[in-house]
């Protein structure tokens, strides 16, 4: 390619232009560590074994192990295609989608929605909602920290770290009982300085599947009031956990009834199967409408230099479904099918293990709820699962129930039994 400029290429080379920077600016950039969760799927795909099972990543699969696009989503897309004009959404996203989303979390007839007390913006799924909140927290409560449960979804740590909000942890999972370490959790809540910020999983805790009972939530809420703590709920599995969205939002309802001004990150990745569309919502309950307007405007100021405004099509799918009674009914049915299949697989896995005569207790498989089961397998046992049985899971022993089918559940049970029977 010759430039029609006054400067010949030969002259360029002679004067050293283009050759002056001999080395890269980024020659010393270290290769980053691979994402632990996504690396599991990569390894699974590379395995040629016909028996291989992927219980790593948390995306729903049907009983044939196939990804699912909900019928209500397909129908919504059919209605939208050809009609959408693709103009920019406002910085706060689709107003319709946000309105419908708030109803799911705060209640269909929520007084807070009527009184316009909720500052809410469309976000890039759950990750984006958490990140907006973390950045907002840093900007407006710069001296605050975030208390994060142990364990939690690994990316939570990344999000608040990148937002430069210091992190502390609180006890959550009890390895011995494979349930909730309620006593230590409450101790941590009591010992945290007054007015601390806590990250709570609204339902279907990721990665353990261990949720507080209703009574326990009430006690947590009470103690939060005593201490004046702020509760931020990450709700990524509403409807997906029990099959009933209202039931899955119980923890939030309890806190609202107790008068807390909470924050919520909502995601449609799992419960509407919209994973790659990146649809979610961040909301903050405020004292009054004026404050909600102010807070929303500030959230938009954080979104604008990050991505300007959120993607339109996924939001339109959500508002089409939730705004149409027939489609909404269909969605609720389909969500229950997914939740029921997972609950069915929990039962089947536990029964298989008990039938094999395992000396260990597998109660926790059916006690835990949602996409994941914290099996209790050690990293070494997990390695054996992979190396001997071609079963892929994260090394913390987390099993994605969605990857289990009637076709592979006995194979999986057998493998777990083999690696754990002499534990």
Partner 1 sequence: MDPNHTISASATSGSDFGGSVFDHVVQAPEDPILGVTVAYNKDPSPVKLNLGVGAYRTEEGKPLVLNVVRRAEQLLVNDRSRVKEYLPIVGLAEFNKLSAKLMFGADSPAIQVKRVTTVQCLSGTGSLRVGAEFLARHHHQRTIYIPQPTWGNHGKIFTLAGLSVKTYRYYDPATRGLNFQGLLEDLSLAPSGAIVLLHACAHNPTGVDPTLQQWEQIRQLIRLKGLLPFFDSAYQGFASGSLDADAQSVRMFVADGGECLAAQSYAKNMGLYGERVGALSIVCKTADVASRVESQVKLVIRPMFSNPPIHGASIVAIILKNRDMYNEWTVELKAMADRIISMRQQLFDALRARGTPGDWNHILKQIGMFTFTGLNTAQVAFMTKEYHVYMTSDGRISMAGLSSKTVPHLADAIHAAVTRAI
Residue (of 362, 288, 356, 253) closest to 114 by Cα position: 288
CA 70 to CA 256: how far, in whole Å? 31
Told to judge if 211 belongs to the known catalytic residues of this protein, a careful annotator would answer no
Within 10 angstroms of residue 405's Cβ, the number of other Cβ atoms is: 19
The answer to whether the beta carbons of residues 170 and 147 sit under 8 Å apart is: yes
The answer to whether the beta carbons of residues 95 and 83 sit under 8 Å apart is: no
CB of 198 to partner 1, least distance (A): 10
Residue (of 316, 319, 312) closest to 90 by Cα position: 312
Say if strands 167-171 and 146-150 run parallel, antiparallel, or are unpaired: parallel
CA 122 to CA 137: how far, in whole Å? 17
Write phi, then psi, for 179 (nearest 5 degrees): -135, -155
Q: Which among 178, 250, 253, 270 is annotated as catalytic? A: 270
List C-alpha distances in Å: 399 to 62, 158, 208: 16, 22, 9
CB of 349 to partner 1, least distance (A): 24
CA 411 to CA 407: how far, in whole Å? 8
Cβ closest to partner 1, residue 277 vs residue 381:
277
Sign of the torsion angle spanned by Cα atoms 73, 78, 83, 86: positive
List C-alpha distances in Å: 191 to 188, 217, 229: 5, 18, 11
Told to judge if 270 belongs to the known catalytic residues of this protein, a careful annotator would answer yes
Write phi, then psi, for 309 (nearest 5 degrees): -160, 155
Q: Which among 181, 188, 211, 234 is annotated as catalytic? A: 234
Question: Which residue blocks in 119-200 are alpha helix, DSSP H?
Answer: 125-140, 154-162, 182-191
CB of 163 to partner 1, least distance (A): 8
Residue (of 266, 326, 342) closest to 72 by Cα position: 326
Told to judge if 52 belongs to the known catalytic residues of this protein, a careful annotator would answer no
CA 351 to CA 404: how far, in whole Å? 14
List C-alpha distances in Å: 282 to 83, 277, 299, 370: 27, 16, 9, 22
Active site residues: 153, 234, 270
């Amino acid at each position: 390619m010759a430039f029609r400029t006054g400067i010949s290429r030969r002259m360029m080379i002679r004067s050293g232009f283009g050759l002056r920077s001999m080395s890269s600016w980024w020659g010393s950039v270290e290769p980053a560590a691979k994402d632990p969760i996504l690396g599991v799927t990569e390894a699974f795909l590379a395995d040629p074994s016909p028996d291989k099972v992927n219980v790593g990543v948390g995306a729903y699969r049907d009983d044939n192990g196939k990804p699912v696009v909900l019928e209500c989503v397909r129908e919504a897309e059919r209605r939208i295609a050809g009609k959408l004009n693709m103009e920019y959404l406002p910085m706060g996203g689709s107003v319709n989608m946000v309105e419908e989303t708030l109803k799911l979390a705060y209640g269909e007839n929520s007084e807070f929605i009527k009184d316009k007390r909720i500052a809410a913006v469309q976000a890039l799924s759950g990750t984006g909602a958490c990140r907006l909140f973390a950045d907002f927290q840093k900007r407006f409560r710069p001296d605050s920290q975030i208390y994060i449960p142990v364990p939690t979804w690994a990316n939570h740590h990344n999000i608040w770290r990148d937002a430069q909000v210091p992190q502390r942890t609180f006890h959550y999972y009890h390895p011995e009982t494979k349930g909730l370490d309620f006593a230590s959790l409450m101790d941590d809540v009591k010992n945290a300085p007054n007015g601390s910020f806590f990250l709570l999983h609204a339902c279907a805790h990721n990665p353990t599947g261990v949720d507080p009972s209703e009574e326990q939530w009430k006690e947590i809420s009470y103690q939060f009031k005593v201490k004046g703590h702020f509760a931020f709920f990450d709700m990524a599995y509403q409807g997906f956990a029990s099959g009933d969205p209202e039931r899955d939002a119980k923890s939030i309802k309890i806190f609202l009834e107790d008068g807390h001004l909470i924050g919520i990150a909502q995601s449609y990745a799992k419960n509407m199967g919209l994973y790659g569309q990146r649809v979610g919502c961040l909301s903050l309950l405020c004292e009054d409408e004026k404050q909600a307007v102010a807070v929303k405007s500030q959230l938009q100021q954080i979104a604008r230099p990050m991505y300007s405004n959120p993607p339109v099509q996924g939001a339109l799918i959500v508002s089409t479904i939730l705004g149409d009674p027939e489609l909404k009914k269909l969605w609720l049915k389909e969500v229950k099918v997914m939740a029921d299949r997972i609950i069915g697989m929990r039962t089947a896995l536990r029964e298989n293990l008990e039938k094999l005569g395992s000396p260990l207790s597998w109660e926790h498989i059916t006690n835990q709820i949602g996409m994941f089961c914290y099996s209790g397998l050690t990293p070494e046992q997990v390695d054996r699962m992979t190396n001997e049985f071609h079963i892929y899971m994260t090394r913390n022993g987390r099993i994605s129930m969605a990857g289990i089918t009637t076709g592979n559940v006995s194979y999986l049970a057998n493998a777990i039994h083999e690696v754990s029977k002499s534990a």
